[in-house]
Structure 1
Amino acid sequence: MAHQLQYIHDDIKRSCFEDMFFKADVLFEDHLLVWLISGETKIVQADHTHVFGAGDTLLFPRHLLATVLNYPKDGLSHQSVTMHLRSGQLKDYYQKNGLSNHLAAVPAQPAFQIFGQHPLLKSCLASLVPYFELKEKLPQAIASLKIEEAIHIVRTIDPGIDQLLANFAEPGKIGIVDFMERNYMFNMSMEKFGYLTGRSLTTFKRDFKKAFQTTPQKWLTRKRLELAHYQIREKNRKPSEVYLETGFENLSHFGYAFKQRFGYAPTERVE
C-alpha cells in the first residue's frame, strides 16, 4: 500500500507506511513533535544515528539536516503522529504567557530532543488519535489548545528547551568548509546548502569553488563515494546498507559510480 498521509489540521498529521520502506533527506522549516505509534525510525546525522521504536516521542528541530529512514516492524506498519510547532504560534505562546525573558538571545545549535516514552507527552499525542476519525478538519480553537498543551508539557519535561523553541533566528553566514565536510552525505539541493550557510545560491557556488577548487556536485560525489568505500571495505557493510546513508538514491547508479571511481564493483571482495 502506498504512503498514507492524513491531516486533521494544517499542523497535525498522521502518516502510515503499510508495507514499504521510506527514506528522505530532510530540512524542516518548523519544529516537529513526533510520536511513533508502530514501526521503527532511524535518523542519521553527520556524527550520530538515532533509532526510535514504538511509543517513543521526539522533537525534530527546524533547520537541522538529517536522513530519515522509516521501516515497518514486527508485522506492523510504520505509523506516527506529527505536530508542527510553528514560529508564529511559539512567539504567541511566549508573549501570552509572559515569557518574553525566555526568548533566546544567542541562537542555539539545533539538536534532537528525545523524550522516550514520557507519559505526559505520550498521552498528549495519543489523545489526538480519535480526532482522525472526524469527517471534517479539527476546529482551529481545539487544535491551538492541543498544540499549546504540547508546548507546556515539553517545557515541563525540559525547562532548557526554551533555547531551542524561543530561537527564531534564520541561519547566518558560516564557514563553508567545516559545514560541507560535516554534511556532504545529505542529498540536498544547492539552494538549501546555500541557505544553511547563510548564502544565496550564486554566492554559495562562488565561495565553494574558491574553497574546494571544484564544483559542488563533483566534490559531493567524490566525498560520498569515499565514505561508502570506507563503510564497505573497513566496516564490512553491504552496499545495500550504505548507499542511502551516503547520499545516493539508487543502488544501481551507486554501483556504477563506485566502479567508475575505484575500478571494481562494491559487491566485489578485493584483497
Structure 2
Amino acid sequence: MEFQINYITPDIKLSTYDDRLFKTETVFEYHMLVWFISGETKIIQADQSYLFRAGDIFLIPRNHLATIINYPKDGLPHKAVVMHLTTERLKQFYASVECEYKPMGRESKIYSFQNHPLLKSCLASLIPYFEVEGPFPENIASLKITEAISILREIDKDIDGILTDFEEPGKIDLAGFMEKNYMFNMSLERFGYLTGRSLSTFNRDFRKIFQTTPQRWLTHKRLELAYYHLKEKHKKPSDIFMEVGFEDFSHFSYAFKKQYGLVPSALN
C-alpha cells in the first residue's frame, strides 16, 4: 500500500500513506480540519513552517499556498481524518447563528488545537463509519460537520472571523505576493488566481514588473533561496530541494550548477 483515500462523504475522508514521504504544494478550496492518527506532517508557508505529529488537530485556512510533506513515522503509516468545511456548508451554518465577528481577511496561519478532547472525540467517532459498506447518511455527515464547527467556535472565540471569510481573492500587489510566495511550485494559472488575475493578465503584469518571464524568475529565486540554506544554514541539499520549490533532485542539482557553477553539495 502506498497512498489510499477512503471517503464516507465528499467532505469527510480517511487518508493513509505508507511510503517514504508524500509531498504536495497546493491551495485548498475549503478550510480543512485535520486529525492525525499516526505519522508526521511538515507544512511550509511563506512566513513560517509547522510540524504536526500523531494526535495533533489543526485547521488549514482556504486559499493560501502551502507545501505539505507527509511522512510515515515509527513504523506506522501517515494516517489522518480530514473534514472539509465548505463555503456552502459554512454559509448555511452561520445563517442560523447570531454572533458578532470581524472577518480576518487573508490570514494565512494554521490553527493548532493540539489534542483537544472535544475535537478528538468528534473526529474519532467517524472512524467506525469508514469500515461500514454502503453510503454514509447525509444527515449524519451534516450533524458531524456541524458538531465540529460548533466545537471550534467554543474553543476559539476568534475562529468566526476565519470561517466566515467567503470572499474570493481580489486583485492584489503582484510583486509583493510573488516575492513572498515564489518557493511554492504552483502553476502560473494558480498564481494568477491568487493575485486576482487571469493567466494572460498575470503574464503581462509579471513581465512589466520583473522584465523577464515568470518561469525564469521563479527558478532564479528558488536557487537563491537554496544557496542561502546551503551556505548560511548548512543544510543538506536533499533536505531543502523540495522546500525551495523543486520536485526532482536531479533537476535541482543541474539547475544549481548551471546558475552557480558548482554542485549543491560543494557548499556543505
State the TM-score, normalized to the length of structure 1: 0.96
Which runs of structure 2 are paired with 1:86-97 in the superposition (5 Å)?
Answer: 86-97=86-97
1:30-79 deviations in Å (ceiling 9; x for gaps): 00000011010000111211000000000011001010000011111100
Query: Could you tell me how far apart the structure 1 residues matched to 2:255 and 2:233 are?
Result: 20
Asked if 2 retains the 8 angstrom alpha-carbon contact of 1:33 and 1:58, the reply is yes
Is 1:257 aligned to 2:255, yes or no? yes
In the other structure, the counterpart of 2:142 is 144
Structure 1 residues 263 and 108, CA gap change in structure 2 (3 angstroms): closer
Asked if 2 retains the 8 angstrom alpha-carbon contact of 1:110 and 1:164, the reply is no
1:64-103 deviations in Å (ceiling 9; x for gaps): 101000001111110000000000000000112344x547
Query: Could you tell me how far apart the structure 2 residues matched to 1:69 and 1:247 are?
Result: 12
In the other structure, the counterpart of 2:132 is 134
What SS does the aligned partner of 1:245 have?
coil
Runs of 5+ unmatched residues, structure 2: none
Q: How far apart are residue 146 of structure 1 and its match?
A: 0.1
1:198-221 deviations in Å (ceiling 9; x for gaps): 111111111111110101000000
In the other structure, the counterpart of 1:5 is 5
In the other structure, the counterpart of 1:23 is 23
Asked if 2 retains the 8 angstrom alpha-carbon contact of 1:103 and 1:167, the reply is no
In the other structure, the counterpart of 2:40 is 40
Q: How far apart are residue 268 of structure 1 and its match?
A: 1.9
Query: Could you tell me how far apart the structure 2 residues matched to 1:123 and 1:217 are?
Result: 46
Query: Could you tell me how far apart the structure 2 residues matched to 1:234 and 1:247 are?
Result: 19
Structure 1 residues 103 and 237, CA gap change in structure 2 (3 angstroms): closer
What SS does the aligned partner of 1:46 have?
coil
What SS does the aligned partner of 2:264 have?
coil
Is 1:164 aligned to 2:162, yes or no? yes
Is 1:75 aligned to 2:79, yes or no? no
Which runs of structure 2 are paired with 1:132-211 in the superposition (5 Å)?
Answer: 132-211=130-209
Is 1:123 aligned to 2:121, yes or no? yes
Q: How far apart are residue 108 of structure 1 and its match?
A: 4.3
Query: Could you tell me how far apart the structure 1 residues matched to 2:112 and 2:154 are?
Result: 14
What SS does the aligned partner of 1:160 have?
coil
Structure 1 residues 108 and 64, CA gap change in structure 2 (3 angstroms): closer
What SS does the aligned partner of 2:20 have?
coil
Equivalent pairs counted in the alignment come to 268
Query: Could you tell me how far apart the structure 2 residues matched to 1:137 and 1:112 are?
Result: 32
CA-atom RMSD, angstroms? 1.3
Query: Could you tell me how far apart the structure 1 residues matched to 2:226 and 2:196 are?
Result: 29
Q: How far apart are residue 234 of structure 1 and its match?
A: 1.2
Query: Could you tell me how far apart the structure 1 residues matched to 2:106 and 2:199 are?
Result: 25
Query: Could you tell me how far apart the structure 2 residues matched to 1:60 and 1:237 are?
Result: 27
Query: Could you tell me how far apart the structure 2 residues matched to 1:164 and 1:178 are?
Result: 23
1:165-202 deviations in Å (ceiling 9; x for gaps): 01101111110111000000000111110111111111
Asked if 2 retains the 8 angstrom alpha-carbon contact of 1:108 and 1:163, the reply is no
- Aligned match for 2:227, one of 216, 226, 229: 229
Asked if 1 retains the 8 angstrom alpha-carbon contact of 2:43 and 2:67, the reply is yes
Query: Could you tell me how far apart the structure 2 residues matched to 1:36 and 1:70 are?
Result: 11
Is 1:51 aligned to 2:45, yes or no? no
Runs of 5+ unmatched residues, structure 1: none
In the other structure, the counterpart of 2:216 is 218
